[in-house]
Structure 1
Amino acid sequence: MIQQFRKCTAAIAILAAATGAAHAADWSDTSISYRYGTDFAEPYNPKDLTKHIVNLSHASGYKYGTNFFSADMLFSDKDDPSSARSKTGAHEVYVLYRHTLDLGKVTGKDFASPGVRGYGFTAGFDMNSKVDAGYNSKKRMLVAGPTVMLDVPGFLNVSLLALWESNAPYSTYTNSGFERYRYKTHPMLNAVWLIPLPVSAPLTFEGFANFIGKKGNDEFGGKTAAETNIDMQIMYDMSGVVGAGKNTFKVGLEYQYWKNKFGNNHNGFAGSGAFAKTPMIRAEYHF
């Protein structure tokens, strides 16, 4: 288990380096963050779960658009066990990458209009590896679709993306698994934002929202459900308190609302574990 986890983290480091070197950046922001909560949930598990999450993120802009890379390393408590006989918690690595081409920058034309800064095209991927007792999904997903960049303080981008998702789950309870299974291509309406709050304190409202359509039947033949995943934070820039540059150290409160997690209907066999309502504390270091 430890060897597999080390391989995942090594792959993340290589991918992060490749992402940073892909384009000569006009600007960049790299951060390491930590978040913690005690009300996480997993489908088919009725218990409230405690998780520690360490994240590495990188955002950058270049001549024709932007890159965003994120890697979560999630550590669960024993109620989300790492194997059928283990008393230790599950480990997961979840990697996400998005590239957005700015159509105005590519064509040299100004597409701005009232309320809109411009338009783009976004493509990327998600992938995970989780060492847990029940599912071990090995998710792989490609995404692509148009993006609207709204004219707000900070930024607010809204994308309509097609998702091509597959998994190859393996259960340590039954020592059995599936060949890689591909869901039906399905849509996702995505919003991502960072907006300074109109107050005297250095506060920002940040986060993302994913509204995901049904993706056909799962690998067991059951019907999937539409999924809502909203993750939002109020962050305070405490850099001035410690004598650091602006936006170096940030702390705040985070809340995640995740209904029908992974497309599992929370009114069905997946139960309450498919509906997470999770408050968290969060701290970030930007460099």
Structure 2
Amino acid sequence: MFARGLAAAALSLGMIASGIAADLDALKKKPEAPAVKEAPFFLFADTQISYRYQMDALSPGVQILQPNGTFRSREFPKNIINISHADAWAYGTNFFTLDILKSGSQAPAGTTNPPGSIAAPFFADYGNTEAYGLYRGTLSFNALTNTKAFTYAGIIKDVSLSFGFDANSQNDAFGSKKRDVVGGLNFAFDVPAGFLNLAVHAYKEWNRNGFNLQPDRDQSFDVVPEFEVVYNFPLTFTGLPLSLAGFNNIVLPKGRGVQYAGDFLFNPPRQLEFLSRTNLVLDLGKLIYDQPNRVDVFIGFQYWLNKFGNGETATFKGTEEKSFLAGFAFHIF
């Protein structure tokens, strides 16, 4: 536009200098059409870095033998750094998140111990580290068909194809190496404010059990239904920039994950797994500086039943987690 303006000015000056008559009124009535701005590819995009401290975390098999001969779960803290990105484009959405989790020394690292040395890692003086990444994408049926055929007023705003994967790595004695893929439908409910989504997926998981001897460490679980509920509701009645945000995940029993009958003693059938996290989020930037979506602080609660699908027994603890958390987040762009 700047170069085009200079060219037009130069042409006008040349016409006047040469004495050529020009109908300025006519030119004023026919201004140059403004350039059309290209629409951005992303209709919405948000990337943030956050830190949260989780109290009283648990891990299956991390337990204490009590004087009376019974076992109880061993609790430990976690320090967690997260980077996440969410965006929406013409035909759908993308969401990616990566957690780096550092456990307290009560849940130590132990990958250097040989198979069978189950007790040795619990005398280490440093905690294990885990990286956990997740991606979810959607493709809107309304957008793909250029209709409102998948909108049901007052109930459903849109139905989308939903897909994604999870991947993790952890350097404790178990040595988790989770990989899973999901695919199904996502239902966006028509709520007055905020959003509420339900995804119904087929779920397939592969993992690793470091307590097993080779070649039985690699595990492949059955394809089962999985449900994900994600929500964010503004609490405008408080008069503060508060919101309630969270998710709930349900994975149905996914089998034993092993192929041979001889392994069944150490690999019992997995149970229904339920994970829930709810955060009360305060937009601190909007509250103090009138700059929304810049800095958030939050407190929350996490409940995990049958963690990783493991059911609790008299000699196997650490499968039902009830934990408070707190943290802050910076929206970087």
Give the shorter-chain TM-score range. Answer: 0.7 to 0.9
Match of 1:195 in 2: 233
Match of 1:274 in 2: 319
Question: What SS is found at the alignment partner of 2:312?
Answer: coil
Matched, 1:82 2:92: no
What's the offset of the Cα at 1:252?
1.4
Among candidates 23, 47, 54, match of residue 37 of structure 1: 54
Matched, 1:65 2:82: no
Match of 1:13 in 2: none
Match of 1:138 in 2: 177
Match of 1:215 in 2: 254
What's the offset of the Cα at 1:263?
0.3
Match of 2:164 in 1: 124
What's the offset of the Cα at 1:180?
2.8
- Cα gap change, 1:175/1:191 in structure 2, threshold over 3 Å: closer, same or farther? same
Match of 1:19 in 2: none
- Cα gap change, 1:268/1:193 in structure 2, threshold over 3 Å: closer, same or farther? farther
Deviations, residues 172-226 of structure 1 (Å, cap 9, x unaligned): xx88673532100011111001111132111101011011100011444211100
What's the offset of the Cα at 1:244?
6.0
Question: What SS is found at the alignment partner of 2:42?
Answer: coil
Specify every segment of 5 or more residues in structure 1 that has no aligned partner in the other structure, as ranges: 1-22
- Do 1:168 and 1:177's aligned partners in 2 also have CA atoms closer than 8 Å? no
What's the offset of the Cα at 1:241?
4.5
- Cα gap change, 1:146/1:60 in structure 2, threshold over 3 Å: closer, same or farther? same
- Do 2:241 and 2:287's aligned partners in 1 also have CA atoms closer than 8 Å? no
Bigger Rg over Cα: 2
- Do 2:205 and 2:220's aligned partners in 1 also have CA atoms closer than 8 Å? yes
Match of 1:227 in 2: 273
Matched, 1:164 2:204: yes
2: distance between equivalents of 1:104 and 1:180? 41
Question: What SS is found at the alignment partner of 2:236?
Answer: coil
Moved more, 100-109 or 260-269: 260-269
Task: Give the letter for the 1:82 counterpart.
Answer: A
Specify every segment of 5 or more residues in structure 2 that has no aligned partner in the other structure, as ranges: 1-39, 63-72, 111-120
2: distance between equivalents of 1:74 and 1:232? 19
Question: What SS is found at the alignment partner of 1:278?
Answer: strand
- How many equivalent pairs are there? 261
- What is the TM-score with the length of structure 1 in the denominator? 0.86
What's the offset of the Cα at 1:67?
0.1
Among candidates 146, 163, 168, match of residue 108 of structure 1: 146
Task: Give the letter for the 2:218 counterpart.
Answer: R
Which aligned pairs between 1:255-270 and structure 2 lie closer than 5 A? 255-267=301-313, 269-270=315-316
Among candidates 15, 24, 28, match of residue 41 of structure 2: 24
1: distance between equivalents of 2:170 and 2:45? 29
1: distance between equivalents of 2:292 and 2:304? 32
Deviations, residues 155-181 of structure 1 (Å, cap 9, x unaligned): 11101111110012324xx88673532
- Do 1:49 and 1:80's aligned partners in 2 also have CA atoms closer than 8 Å? yes
- Cα gap change, 1:230/1:91 in structure 2, threshold over 3 Å: closer, same or farther? same
Task: Give the letter for the 2:134 counterpart.
Answer: L
- Cα gap change, 1:241/1:157 in structure 2, threshold over 3 Å: closer, same or farther? closer
- Do 2:222 and 2:257's aligned partners in 1 also have CA atoms closer than 8 Å? no
- Do 1:36 and 1:51's aligned partners in 2 also have CA atoms closer than 8 Å? yes
